[in-house]
Amino acid sequence: MKIAIVAAEIAPWAKAGGLADVISALPSAMRQCGAQPSVIVPGYRSLMDALTLEPVGPPMEVQIGNQTDAFTVMRAEVNGVPLYLIDNPAYFGREGVYGDRGTPYPDNFRRYLFFGRAAALAVAALIQPDVVHAHDWHAAMTPIVMRADPALRGLFSNTLSIFTVHNLAFQGIFDAGDFGLLNLDPAYFSVDFLEFWGRINLMKGAAVLADGISTVSPTYAREIAADAELGFGLEGVFRSRGDRFTGILNGADYSEWDPMGDPMIAHCYGASDPSPKRMCVRALRAELGLPQDESRPLIGMITRLTPQKGTDLLMNAMEAIMKLDLQMVILGSGDPAAEDFFQHAADQYSDRLRIKLGFDHGLAHRIQAGSDMFLMPSRFEPCGLTQMYALRYGTAPIVRATGGLRDTIVEFDPKTGEGNGFVFEEYRAEALFEAIVRALELFQNSDGWRRLKANGFAADFSWAYAARQYLDWFERLRRVRAGQRA
């Protein structure tokens, strides 16, 4: 099965969050399952500079409103998977992916309209796949034009179109006045297609027009179809897709996130020899300038600082948490108010709290290895990857039971020895506080703690399983589509 994967991020070169991790890991896993994936991403400067590339095919162009934008396709190979870059320096030859220093680029609508259309053209000309698998709103134009643009529809009549939602908080919503930039029949600006409360919604368009739509965990799939708050206004769309809508849990890329062979941490360790983890904790404390006090567990957090990730909850609980016998490090960036809050808190509780603002890949690895517990108090969480990494690093996740966190983390039961973390249900500061207290209590019980860590090491969320599920689902949808066309 030939699969063209279209997305706006790919780790390690162009990363804003978990989407990048998915796009770097899923194709290799699909390949190992016997499929032939290729990946299409924008030709960001970071990628153009880092990879050995060669142009493929003739220069191409797309219309964005009245403007004609040219591009070339550059090809590289990463882990045996062809990677195609849509090269247009005016749109993508910039420092950042979506913006610089927290400020989004003002022309992001145009950039990703262009990308989605250009990707569709490149895929038709160079790949002719059985399946086009587009991810999140930045790639939404691809499944939209595959079905809604008369000039492209015929090129994809034998191709299944799939759209995966990674984060509903970002839907690609823009002013109705810009609909002309899409170069689609005005009939598509209706509630049955791209119109959303008088505005254009690209994610909605893709969710309606793709042959299959998925999101990144079974629980999040249920939540966004059932709950108006979590569905961000698209809950009716998901419900209307019936069995064309599913949830497939992301995998964890253990080739990058495994303390047995992690070059970025102080000492390697794993299930068979967990003891060097203590040295990683010591090294992290030394790096952060925290007192070497082994009786106090160190809690790590690596996150975008946004309400999605529960930063408001943590802020509300901070004073109480800081009275507990623990240390904490937060690596993150995002809302300026949250950054300020945590910065001040770190000054106030300088003997126990550190905040590192910014994006630091190496430190993310050292926090996973050097923390005893990993905090994720998310308001909602489509899948979440960091809790899966934490398990592999013997770092006990403390999470709120939502989306993919509910699908991966189970409260530890000291009586049966089952479970891999600490889970709270209600989005309340007290519930978060109580979960941390439960974790601290178990930390003092060395047998229980050893058992908890062993359960974490044993968890296996490898991509092979997720890739198999995607391929089986594509196969089922292809049979349905072939049946409809017969």
The site for ligand ADP (CB under 6 A) is made up of 17-18, 21, 302-304, 331-333, 359-361, 364, 383-386
Contact between 216 and 246 (Cβ < 8 Å): no
Shortest-Cβ-distance residue relative to ligand ADP: 18
Rounded to a whole number of angstroms, the minimum distance from the CB of residue 196 to ligand ADP is: 22
Rounded to a whole number of angstroms, the minimum distance from the CB of residue 44 to ligand ADP is: 17
Rounded to a whole number of angstroms, the minimum distance from the CB of residue 216 to ligand ADP is: 8
Counting every residue written for the chain, the total comes to 486
DSSP state of 109: H
Rounded to a whole number of angstroms, the minimum distance from the CB of residue 165 to ligand ADP is: 12
Rounded to a whole number of angstroms, the minimum distance from the CB of residue 357 to ligand ADP is: 8
Q: What is the sign, positive or negative, of the torsion defined by CA atoms of 61, 138, 387, 38? A: negative
**Cβ neighbours around 295 below 10 Å, total:** 8
Q: Which is nearer to ligand ADP, 117 or 356 (CB)?
A: 356
The closest alpha carbon to 214, from 244, 178, 250, 258, belongs to 244
Q: Which is nearer to ligand ADP, 408 or 455 (CB)?
A: 408
With a CB cutoff of 8 Å and minimum separation 6, the contacts of 7 are 19, 22, 23, 39, 40, 41, 134, 135, 136, 138, 139
Q: Which is nearer to ligand ADP, 91 or 220 (CB)?
A: 220
Rounded to a whole number of angstroms, the minimum distance from the CB of residue 448 to ligand ADP is: 27
Residue 217 CA to its chain's centroid (Å): 11
Rounded to a whole number of angstroms, the minimum distance from the CB of residue 60 to ligand ADP is: 31
Rounded to a whole number of angstroms, the minimum distance from the CB of residue 63 to ligand ADP is: 33
Contact between 86 and 73 (Cβ < 8 Å): yes
Rounded to a whole number of angstroms, the minimum distance from the CB of residue 157 to ligand ADP is: 34
Strand order in the sheet with 195-196: 173-174, 199-201, 195-196
In whole angstroms, what is the distance from residue 187 CA to residue 193 CA? Answer: 8
Instruction: Give the DSSP letter string of 352-395.
Output: TEEEEES--HHHHHHHHHH-SEEEE--S--SS-SHHHHHHHTT-
Rounded to a whole number of angstroms, the minimum distance from the CB of residue 295 to ligand ADP is: 28
468: helix, strand or coil: helix
The residues that bridge with 398 in the sheet, in sequence order, are 375, 422
Q: Which is nearer to ligand ADP, 297 or 397 (CB)?
A: 397
The closest alpha carbon to 38, from 71, 11, 78, belongs to 78
Q: Which is nearer to ligand ADP, 126 or 330 (CB)?
A: 330
In whole angstroms, what is the distance from residue 432 CA to residue 313 CA? Answer: 8
For 255, the token pair is 């080739």
Residue 206 CA to its chain's centroid (Å): 18
DSSP state of 452: H
Q: Which is nearer to ligand ADP, 17 or 414 (CB)?
A: 17
Rounded to a whole number of angstroms, the minimum distance from the CB of residue 94 to ligand ADP is: 20
The closest alpha carbon to 453, from 429, 419, 406, belongs to 419
Contact between 118 and 91 (Cβ < 8 Å): no
The residues that bridge with 400 in the sheet, in sequence order, are 424
Contact between 389 and 257 (Cβ < 8 Å): yes
Q: Which is nearer to ligand ADP, 393 or 412 (CB)?
A: 393
Q: Which is nearer to ligand ADP, 304 or 468 (CB)?
A: 304
Q: Which is nearer to ligand ADP, 20 or 162 (CB)?
A: 20
